[in-house]
Structures are given as structure tokens and as C-alpha cells.
Amino acid sequence: MTRTVYVNGQYLPWGQAAVHAEDRGFQFGDAVYEVCEVRDGHLIDETRHMDRLERSLGELKIPLPMARTAWARVMRETIRRNRVRDGSVYLQVSRGARPRDFLISDAVDMVPTVVCVARSANRAKLEAAAIVGIGVRSVPDMRWGRCDIKTVMLLPATMAKEQAKEIGAKEAWLFDEKGFVTEGASSNAWIVDSAGKLVTRPASTEILRGVTRTTLIDLLKRDGIELVERAFTVAEAKAAREAFTTSATALVTPVVRIDDSAIGNGAPGMLTLKLRSHFHEVAEAAAL
């Protein structure tokens, strides 16, 4: 089946899905994105992802390219044309194309570039791999000061993940100059500390406020599980009882090793697996 990509109002075969050579997303990383899970023919946490997309655009003063109802249609049509039942849908909005110029304040006539891509995933295979747990590598956080905006400036994340791959780890956990974990290269970071408390870093400009993180906090409230929002060091994470990452594509994924240190007894933690299995009881699931 030929994959179809939505670009600026058109559904195009994958090989023809192109944007302008002077698109600011390409030249300046001047673009934001979202990734939503598609599960069992439903769009997961669409409202929160769209809220965050609008916030990212607002922070960068990129005009809203379309209304929510239009986004909803584009995502569903892209998912339908690619026959995705389980997988993800990716949205990207750049400020648009114009002759290269650092300044944007007088670019009042710019039309944002909009791209939507849907992709299938083998859920059974991902599930089997996830519950075994992953290793992560601790890597210095080299990103900028506005990690709360979900921009496409992903080179530091790519480099960190490549460093993780060198030691057979699936994700990088980034740490700041004081040794505190900020987040994963493409996920949020959590531990169950040595006192048994669930801990994650508070949302700030240093991390992305993950939608999966926010929905997981709803699950914790529902189940009366206490959460402590505080920073933790790499050393503390290595001595933790449990560790896991969250993202729209990895969901709640157990971390069983950080660098050379096994977490707990080296197997996924009980609380982690419980949170993974109950996550979709609280997440929003919208029909396609």
C-alpha cells in the first residue's frame, strides 16, 4: 500500500509529499509538532495534544493554521487513508516559506506549512518488548531553555539517542549541570525512590509537559497514589526501586537499567506495570 501524507491541504503519495526548500522549518527549525497514539481505531488524548500544539504555536507566535474541527478531520482522513488502527499520527506546523531571514517580525503574510503523517505499529510486538523493560543511558542535556515548546529542533535528542544506542540502551535520560535528570530524549522520566515514593520532575521550561505524564497524573489521583514532583539525580535514579519513561508512543515503559546499574532487581517494577496496564482507563479515546 502506498502511504499517503497530508501537506498543505493535499493528500499526496509519500514520494511526492514535499515542502518548499526555503521553509523555515527546514532552515531554522522554526516548527512545532505533536505525536498522538492511535489505539484500537481511536485517537488517544487528542484534546490535550491539540491544547499543547496551540500553546507551542502561541509561544512562537506562529499563526494557528486551522481550527480544531479541521485538524480533527485532517488527522482522521490521514489515518483512514493509511489504514492505521494501531500506531501514531504526527502533525507538524512550521512558520512557512520565505527567502531566508533570521527576523520574523515583519513576516506578516506568512502561511504556515502543515504536515500530517500516520503510521501503523505492531502493538503486540511493542507490548511484548515494553514489558521486558529498556535500558537507558545518562547523557548531558545540551538543549535550549524552552524545552516546554515542542519544536522540531531534535538534533540534541538524536545525538543523545545515538549515544544510548552505543551501549545497547533504547533511550537517553538527560541530566543538567547539577546532575539532575531533566527528562528522556523523547519521553518524561519517573522513579519510585528508595522510600517507595513515585517521583517525577516538575513541569517547567526545562522539560516538555508530556501529555502521557499529565494523563498518568490523572490515573494516580484516581487510584490515590501519591506523587512527589521534585528533581532527582542520576545517582538517585540508579538506586531507585523502579524507573520508567512516558510518551505517547512508548506509553509507560519500564526502565530496568541505567548505564551499568540494574534498577531494583533488574526486572520491571510492580507499580510501573500496574500504571502501564491501567493507563488507557483514564486516557481520552476519541472515535476516528
Exposed, middle or buried: residue 232 (CB in 10 Å: 0-12, 13-18, 19+)?
buried
Q: Which helix (H) or strand (E) holds 58?
A: helix 46-59
User: Which one of residues 113, 247, 253, 272 is an interface residue with ligand PDD (CB under 6 A)?
Assistant: 247
Closest CA to 200 of 247, 239, 232: 232
State the nearest-atom distance from the C-beta of 213 to ligand PDD, in Å.
6
Annotation says 150 is catalytic: yes
The catalytic position among 125, 150, 161, 274 is: 150
139 is a site residue for ligand PDD (CB under 6 A): no
How far, in Å, CA of 149 to CA of 161, rounded? 20
- Of 53-61, 126-134, 159-167, 243-251, the window that binds ligand PDD (rule: CB under 6 A) is 243-251
How far, in Å, CA of 111 to CA of 248, rounded? 28
State the nearest-atom distance from the C-beta of 149 to ligand PDD, in Å.
11
State the nearest-atom distance from the C-beta of 188 to ligand PDD, in Å.
5
* Beta carbon nearer to ligand PDD, 97 or 157: 157
- Cell of residue 126, nine digits: 511493542
Residue 98, SS3?
coil
246 is a site residue for ligand PDD (CB under 6 A): yes
- Of 74-82, 117-125, 132-140, 240-248, the window that binds ligand PDD (rule: CB under 6 A) is 240-248
Count CB-CB contacts under 10 A for residue 55.
15
Under rule CB under 6 A, which residues in 195-214 are in contact with ligand PDD? 208, 210-213
248 is a site residue for ligand PDD (CB under 6 A): yes
Q: CA-based diameter of the chain, in Å? A: 58
Residue 247, SS3?
strand
| Strand ranges, E, within the chain | 4-7, 10-13, 31-39, 42-44, 87-94, 113-120, 134-140, 171-175, 181-184, 188-192, 198-200, 227-229, 242-247, 251-258, 261-262, 285-287
CA angle, 50 then 187 then 218, to 5°: 60
* Beta carbon nearer to ligand PDD, 98 or 123: 123
56 is a site residue for ligand PDD (CB under 6 A): no
Q: Per-residue x/- mask for ligand PDD, residues 149 to 188, rule CB under 6 A?
A: ----------------------------------x--xxx
* Beta carbon nearer to ligand PDD, 183 or 242: 183
268 is a site residue for ligand PDD (CB under 6 A): no
Query: Residues touching ligand PDD: how many (CB under 6 A)?
Result: 14
Binding site for ligand PDD (CB under 6 A): 35, 183, 186-188, 208, 210-213, 246-249
Active site residues: 150
